[in-house]
Amino acid sequence: MIFLTEILAKAWQNRDPFDVLFSLEGEEYRRVKSRRTFRFEIDGQGFFAKVHRGIGYREIFKNLFSLKLPVAGAENEYRALLRLKELGIPAMEVAGFGTRGRNIAHRESFLVTRELKNMQSLEEITLHWAETPPDSALRHTLIRRLAETSGAMHRAGINHRDCYLCHFLTAVDDPEKTLHIIDLHRAQCRKKVPYRYQVKDVAGLLFSSMDCAITRRDVLRFVRLYSRTPLREEFARNGKFYCDVARTAEKLYRKEFGKEPPRWF
């Protein structure tokens, strides 16, 4: 299967997109054994490409023995992006996708997305909040947008699996701070997000917010907007979920930084 938008189809006319992308040079952002992510341009338009080569049986069994689902190509991200677009949830725009090979261990695939210009991540925006607290209006807007966007994603049956502040972008000059979800390489689409994966996603957001001097009020505001339910009712019904989120986030912080997390609640 191969899908290309008009600009890519015209630029690569009579050429195999796999051959083009496997040999194309560009600004490289990530390279691992089976995957390469880089930026390139066509007629002044920026694109990002993720090119996947077969991960091999060893990597597949390694993931399975660790009780993890192996990511064998770009299909997960492609499906997640189409689903988000269908729901009107801002994310990367697909410009090209291709997959070939029946054997999952040796399957090759690619995903090309249009560049999101003049963007900054929530991680960048909140980097110095502990030392320089932001304007309350900005703080409330970002919490609202993050809660609404992540909540809509989960209600649609999509879990990110790398759900951190760095993977939510907003335009520098956007007063409403519309968030775009990126890096859905490990995302999964189902009718309903399993409990453990929903905990993992929300815990990832909490973990990556812990050094931003978040307050009890910030957390409660997020919960109310994320759940779209009054707080008393939400905690009565899903109290265990938020306890599990807190424990998971704190455990992740200790593992990542080798110290106790800051007091956040």
Active site residue 218: no
CB 115, CB 38: distance < 8 Å: no
- Nearest in space to 224 (alpha carbons), one of 209, 238, 203: 238
- Residue 80 backbone dihedrals phi, psi, to 5 degrees: -65, -40
Report H helices in 176-230: 195-207, 216-227
DSSP 261: P
CB 91, CB 126: distance < 8 Å: no
Residue 231 neighbours by CB under 8 Å, 6+ apart? 220, 223, 224
Distances (CA, A) of 87 to 12, 90, 152, 156, 249: 31, 9, 9, 8, 28
Looking at the DSSP assignment, which residues form a beta bridge with residue 35?
A: 32, 52
Query: 16, 43, 135, 162: which one is catalytic?
Result: 162
Report how far residue 20's alpha carbon sits from residue 134's, in angstroms, rounded to the nearest whole number: 45
Report how far residue 153's alpha carbon sits from residue 217's, in angstroms, rounded to the nearest whole number: 23
Residues with catalytic function: 162
